[in-house]
């Protein structure tokens, strides 16, 4: 896993998070970044020398679904506590701290899950400006039953006497609750106290500074006689990456936009308009017929994905050969992709790379240029806005690599594509009217082969069933279905059945991820 930033940003104050597999690990990093302090995740087995080389102002030990007293539990090198770097252990991280200093961790008699009242016993440093009692978010079945002598208690709950602790001499802290979760009312204050007061970080991590350094970094990395090729999808990631690169490359960037016939309503026109407004070099290929012809009669989701990826590589390779040579491939890889691919051995390592170009032929040996690889999605959107991208692209929802084929169950036919495209447009439009579009992660319509009887005028009809899917999420790894107001759902339903030909029923998907996925295919 790549660690650290290039160029001037390497000097930015940072906090390093040891990731023990917590579902909240990325959330910790995001919260620290909200404080304008750069944060990055590293594997728990990172050596003290490696950690020291990153020059962090502080270390955070994340939570974990494991128990520290079990033989196969993930752990860290206890020597990290001798580096003189402030440490904050969160939940499982607290248990590791206690264990490293001779304390005891065991199953709690009463487990704590959800919102719990926290009583602060010491309002200095970590809990400065935190009232008592306050609400915190607990999610633990173990606790520190025997606190090491070198530590003192900072806060407690009714069932956890060691809800927050501090080393009496060293800047080593631990909390049993999760300050990174929004349900912990003063969680951001606690993290701010740790970052600013205890670690001495300065709030220098901003998207403005990132843009300036990213452009310089690209200029340093790509020699003046080499060229860069970019697969432009029209989404915020690839478009933002292209705009950053274009500022540094002086016409040596060529963007390739392939219309596979599976795009959203009006998307090709919008992408071409945007690219033109920024004077990007672009090759536009309308390969709709090629893709749809190859998808004819194919119903299996994985086979559809394979065909779409394979055909894209063919089209992309043809353009590269025609307009080459190119030495670099520009991709919109984001930080969660980098981290999840490093979590080898876990289900999370099988990440979706919809914005990346996989399976290119052997003769196309590219060096990778990934200017967004240290950013989260919300940070990319901020960069996009700084670069002047219209909100329609900067704030647009993520779109799957296979396009609408991921939302058409069964064979991809012209009629099902039309229904999916038009119905999805209505869903997005109604959410925008209601002021809800920016509150959700994704919103779209799904169509399969199921049909239902309806009544149009005075006649019975037999039309398709459309399922509306709207979800809330932070990073797409997990998601909850959005509880939309009934009046919004009604408007969506009425418009789809009235405006989209051959649709009789509209359903609403109420399954979370997991167990469901966000996209049906």
- Which active-site residues does the annotation give? 91, 178, 180
Q: Could you tell me which of 483, 461, 459 has the C-alpha nearest to residue 472?
A: 483
DSSP E strands in 5-91: the ranges are 14-18, 38-42, 58-61, 87-90
Q: How far apart are the first and last CA of the chain?
A: 29
C-alpha radius of gyration, the chain, whole number: 25
Residue with tokens 């989701």: 301
Q: Which two tokens stand for residue 277?
A: 């407004």
DSSP E strands in 56-207: the ranges are 58-61, 87-90, 104-120, 134-146, 151-156, 164-167, 172-175
| List of residues 6+ apart from 487 with CB closer than 8 A | none
32 CB burial (10 A radius; 0-12, 13-18, 19+): buried
Q: Which two tokens stand for residue 199?
A: 């670690």
DSSP-derived 3-state class of residue 271? helix
CA distance 336 to 175: 25
Name the helix (H) or strand (E) containing 446. Answer: strand 442-456
Instruction: Report how far Cα 388 is from the mean position of its chain's Cα atoms.
Output: 22
Instruction: Report how far Cα 183 is from the mean position of its chain's Cα atoms.
Output: 20
CA distance 100 to 487: 56
Q: Are strands 328-330 and 172-175 parallel, antiparallel or unpaired?
A: unpaired
| List of residues 6+ apart from 361 with CB closer than 8 A | 313, 317
Q: What are the residue ranges of helices labelled H in 451-511?
A: 486-499
CA distance 444 to 451: 19
Q: Checking phi first, is residue 21 left (phi over 0); if not, alpha (psi -120 to 50) or beta? A: left
CA distance 154 to 173: 9
Angle, in degrees to the nearest 10, between helices 486-499 and 414-433: 140
The torsion defined by the Cα of 384, 385, 386 and 388, in degrees rounded to 10, comes to 90
Helices then strands, counting H and E runs in the chain, come out as 14, 18
């Amino acid at each position: 896993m790549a660690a650290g930033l290039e160029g001037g940003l390497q000097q930015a104050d940072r906090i390093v998070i040891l990731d023990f597999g917590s579902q909240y690990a990325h959330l910790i990093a995001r919260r620290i970044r909200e404080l304008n302090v750069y944060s990055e995740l590293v594997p728990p087995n990172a050596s003290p020398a490696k950690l020291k080389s990153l020059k962090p102002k502080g270390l955070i030990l994340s939570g974990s679904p494991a128990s520290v007293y079990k033989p196969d539990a993930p752990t860290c090198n206890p020597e990290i506590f001798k580096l003189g770097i402030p440490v904050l252990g969160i939940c499982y991280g607290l248990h590791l701290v206690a264990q490293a200093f001779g304390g005891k961790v065991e199953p709690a008699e009463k487990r704590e899950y959800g919102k719990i009242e926290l009583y602060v016993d010491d309002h200095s440093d970590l809990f400065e400006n935190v009232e008592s009692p306050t609400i915190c978010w607990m999610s633990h079945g173990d606790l520190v039953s025997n606190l090491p002598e070198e530590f003192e208690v900072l806060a407690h709950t009714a069932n956890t006497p060691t809800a927050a602790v501090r080393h009496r001499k060293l800047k080593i802290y631990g909390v049993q609750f999760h300050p990174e979760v929004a349900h912990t009312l003063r969680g951001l204050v606690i993290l701010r106290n740790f970052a600013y007061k205890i670690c001495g970080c300065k709030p220098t991590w901003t998207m403005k500074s990132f843009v300036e350094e990213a452009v310089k970094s690209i200029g340093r990395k790509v020699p003046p006689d080499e060229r860069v090729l970019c697969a432009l999808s029209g989404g915020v990631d690839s478009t933002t990456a292209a705009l950053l690169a274009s500022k540094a490359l002086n016409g040596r960037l060529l963007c390739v936009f392939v219309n596979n016939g599976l795009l959203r309503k009006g998307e090709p026109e919008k992408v071409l308009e945007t690219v033109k407004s920024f004077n990007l070099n672009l090759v536009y290929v309308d390969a709709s017929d090629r893709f749809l012809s190859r998808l004819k009669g194919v119903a299996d989701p994985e086979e559809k994905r394979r065909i779409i990826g394979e055909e894209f590589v063919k089209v992309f390779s043809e353009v590269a050969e025609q307009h080459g040579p190119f030495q670099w491939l520009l991709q919109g890889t984001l930080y969660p992709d980098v981290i999840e691919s490093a979590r080898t051995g876990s289900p999370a390592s099988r990440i979706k790379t919809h914005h990346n170009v996989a399976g290119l032929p052997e003769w196309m040996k590219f060096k990778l240029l990934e200017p967004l690889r240290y950013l989260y999605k919300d940070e990319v959107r901020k960069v996009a806005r700084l670069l002047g991208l219209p909100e329609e692209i900067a704030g647009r929802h993520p779109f799957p690599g296979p396009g609408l084929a991921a939302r058409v169950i069964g064979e991809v036919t012209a009629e099902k594509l039309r229904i999916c495209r038009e119905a999805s447009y209505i869903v997005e439009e109604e959410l925008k009217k209601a002021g809800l579009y920016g509150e959700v992660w994704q919103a779209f319509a799904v169509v399969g082969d199921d049909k239902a009887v309806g009544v149009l005028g005075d006649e019975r009809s037999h039309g398709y069933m459309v399922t509306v899917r709207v979800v809330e999420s932070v990073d797409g790894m997990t998601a909850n279905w959005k509880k939309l107001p009934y009046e919004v759902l009604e408007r969506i339903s009425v418009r789809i059945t009235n405006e989209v030909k051959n649709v009789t029923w509209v359903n609403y998907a109420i399954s979370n991820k997991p167990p469901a996925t966000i996209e049906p295919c």
